[in-house]
Structure 1
Amino acid sequence: MTAISNGNYFKVRGKDLYVEVYGNADAYPLLYLHGGPGESCYEFSYHQAERLKEDFRLIAIDQRGVCRSEKIQGNEHFSIDEIIMDCEALREELGINRWALLGHSFGGYIALKYATMFPDSITRIVFECPTFDFGLSSRSLLRKMGEICKEEEMGGLGEKCFMLADSDSTAKELMLKFIEIRPEIGEKGMKIHVHNFSHKTDYSRYTDGEWKRFLERSNVHVNRLIGGGEMFESILSSLKKLKHPSLLIRGQYDPVTSKEQVMRYQEDVAVANVLTFSNSGHFPHSEEPDKFSKSVVEFLK
């Protein structure tokens, strides 16, 4: 199912923010927060905008400095809080009193921080394969990569992954090691995050040159977040502060939302629901798109 882009630019806190809006203006507002960091909303909108726009006023953004949004400059202050403040300013700009959040992966991290900073702006939250602790997620990712290496008879590299996962390295060190090793297993590395390859994303809306330019912007966003280090602070303790009804959607084969994080969510969140998609990895919204949209509608409506 292909979404027709409803993209536009909003001047938000001095920066051009790329925003897509789908559905009726008086429908239940839902903000999509992409992961990565630096992933963009393109892939989500491609698979879900047409499915969700009948029930929601779906707002999907490329976060500050990502892909189609204005580039972050070298002397510009930037942090996770800047992303959250952008969301708040956009909510006011769109005339929305309160909205629901749908945060994928790192977007789930942002959604939890947003809900604790501005609880009165949020109605409900859908966490899709979130990370609340980059250390736990990175260890789990390294173990998954180790398993794939063993399957592909790359035993030495697999052992290296397992040793790193069990080491006392910091969250930042673990993530950087994962990023460093990942290219060594080539296309097989897709299996770390994706289980069901049935639903492809068409990226031909933009040229290769445009995607290259978008990637360069996103890399600045990612490098600034990694350099700042804030994203490596665990926010698992914030789950106890979450009073909004929430749903955690996880893929059975997703390594990012590790078992420890699912357990903490179930134990600490006052109104918590967990759905496990049996034919998905890290992207239920594109691996099982119809089931995903139905689950979101049922929970939010």
Structure 2
Amino acid sequence: MPNLKNGEFNVPLNGINHWVKIEGSEHKTIPLIILHGGPGGNHYVFERTAGPLLGKTRTVVYYEQRGCGRSDKPESDGDYTIELLISDFKELKKWLGVEKIDLLGYSFGGELALEITDCIPEEVRKLILSAPSLINTDIQQMVQITGFMSIGNYGLNHEISECFQKGSNLDTIYNRVWERVSPDIVDLLLFEDQEIARMNRALWEESNLLNTGLMSRTLLNNLVEVPLLDRLKTIHQQILVITGVFDRNTGMPISKLIHSNLPNSKLVLFRKSAHFPDLEEPEKFIKEINLYLNS
């Protein structure tokens, strides 16, 4: 029998206690499992904004990945590979006791949703990718670097230009930029509407949940044998790709690249959004997802 009952749970997956929350079980729909971004982020904002709107008509399952948010850390700082994240997900699905699931991944969660589907294709019905990433690619780094250059900070632009003129490699420039930027500049990168950016940051601070950076470092240092981009053509599920036209973090180039390599995907642009269309255009975000899942 499915283990679908509304509430928050502490679920051991591969020996690590994971935070899990279920809403909308009374609707008895195929569970929509939400995958957060980061890497190393959490669901605190989503479960207080777009999540409850989805839960009005669907069974929604949140879980925070190992070492993220309210889930426990693995013993080793290096235990954050894609293979381990997929293994945790398989254990979560066993705990839920369901055969088929839908996936909604935002940012890195979109990339993880594709990795999971590639591994267990017969168990995934539909996917929604909101501003998906491709973290181990040059284009991802270039999108973020040019994104920071596009927000109009003269000092930052000058510093990045100097790095290019000196012949610094892409990794060096990318790391230098992220060491240099302030929270205000990051908000300009992630949001078109800065009032919504301030609301989002207030929720980040209220959560008291920090991204240790361990998952991101491990994933960037542990390349998979065949890059995800080279495996997209084998993923045949119906997939909805959502992206904001002002997304300077993963951006339209990444969404279009993913969309063009998937055999059965639809790309929907959000014309008032940057990296978080769920926050900048929530009504359209919920409407598009419900239409897609019900079709």
TM-score of the alignment, normalized to the shorter chain, above 0.5: yes
Percent identical across equivalent pairs?
A: 22
Q: Contact 1:129–1:249 (CA<8 Å) still a contact in 2?
A: yes
Q: Contact 1:126–1:248 (CA<8 Å) still a contact in 2?
A: yes
- Going from structure 1 to structure 2, the CA distance change for 1:164 and 1:290 (only over 3 Å counts) comes to farther
Residue by residue, what CA displacement relative to the aligned partner does 1:105-142 show, whole Å, maximum 9, x if unpaired? 11111111111111011001101001125421211111
The answer for the alignment partner of 2:3 in structure 1 is none
The answer for the alignment partner of 2:213 in structure 1 is 219
SS for the counterpart of 1:250 is strand
- Equivalent pairs, count: 284
Residue by residue, what CA displacement relative to the aligned partner does 1:8-55 show, whole Å, maximum 9, x if unpaired? 211111110001111025222111111111110111111122200122
**AA at the equivalent of 2:210:** L
Looking at structure 2, the residues matched to 83 and 121 of structure 1 have their Cα atoms a distance apart, in angstroms, of 16
SS for the counterpart of 2:67 is coil
Q: Contact 2:66–2:72 (CA<8 Å) still a contact in 1?
A: yes
CA shift for structure 1 position 161: 2.6
The answer for the alignment partner of 2:169 in structure 1 is 169
Q: Contact 2:189–2:249 (CA<8 Å) still a contact in 1?
A: no
The answer for the alignment partner of 1:285 in structure 2 is 278
- Going from structure 1 to structure 2, the CA distance change for 1:90 and 1:287 (only over 3 Å counts) comes to same
CA shift for structure 1 position 84: 1.3
CA shift for structure 1 position 144: 1.5
**AA at the equivalent of 1:296:** I
The answer for the alignment partner of 1:189 in structure 2 is 186
- Match runs of 1:79-118 below 5 Å: 79-118=81-120
1:44 aligns with 2:46: yes
The answer for the alignment partner of 1:160 in structure 2 is 159
TM-score normalised by L of structure 2: 0.85
Q: Contact 1:132–1:261 (CA<8 Å) still a contact in 2?
A: yes
The answer for the alignment partner of 1:237 in structure 2 is 230
SS for the counterpart of 2:45 is helix
- Going from structure 1 to structure 2, the CA distance change for 1:270 and 1:223 (only over 3 Å counts) comes to closer
Looking at structure 2, the residues matched to 142 and 296 of structure 1 have their Cα atoms a distance apart, in angstroms, of 30
Q: Identify which of 53, 56, 81 aligns with 1:54.
A: 56
Q: Identify which of 148, 157, 173 aligns with 1:145.
A: 148
TM-score normalised by L of structure 1: 0.84
CA shift for structure 1 position 87: 1.1
CA shift for structure 1 position 234: 4.5
Q: Contact 1:251–1:277 (CA<8 Å) still a contact in 2?
A: yes
CA shift for structure 1 position 102: 0.8
**AA at the equivalent of 1:8:** F
Looking at structure 2, the residues matched to 222 and 283 of structure 1 have their Cα atoms a distance apart, in angstroms, of 20
Looking at structure 1, the residues matched to 9 and 238 of structure 2 have their Cα atoms a distance apart, in angstroms, of 31
**AA at the equivalent of 1:19:** V
SS for the counterpart of 2:142 is helix
Looking at structure 1, the residues matched to 17 and 66 of structure 2 have their Cα atoms a distance apart, in angstroms, of 8
**AA at the equivalent of 2:189:** I
Looking at structure 2, the residues matched to 215 and 231 of structure 1 have their Cα atoms a distance apart, in angstroms, of 26
The answer for the alignment partner of 1:21 in structure 2 is 22
- Going from structure 1 to structure 2, the CA distance change for 1:20 and 1:255 (only over 3 Å counts) comes to same
Q: Contact 2:147–2:249 (CA<8 Å) still a contact in 1?
A: no
Looking at structure 1, the residues matched to 20 and 202 of structure 2 have their Cα atoms a distance apart, in angstroms, of 18
Looking at structure 2, the residues matched to 9 and 165 of structure 1 have their Cα atoms a distance apart, in angstroms, of 48
1:265 aligns with 2:258: yes
Looking at structure 2, the residues matched to 274 and 56 of structure 1 have their Cα atoms a distance apart, in angstroms, of 22
Give unpaired runs (5+ residues) of structure 2: 1-5
1:136 aligns with 2:129: no
Give unpaired runs (5+ residues) of structure 1: none
Q: Does 263-272 or 58-67 show the bigger shift?
A: 263-272
SS for the counterpart of 1:56 is coil
CA shift for structure 1 position 222: 3.3
Looking at structure 2, the residues matched to 289 and 24 of structure 1 have their Cα atoms a distance apart, in angstroms, of 22
Looking at structure 2, the residues matched to 147 and 168 of structure 1 have their Cα atoms a distance apart, in angstroms, of 20
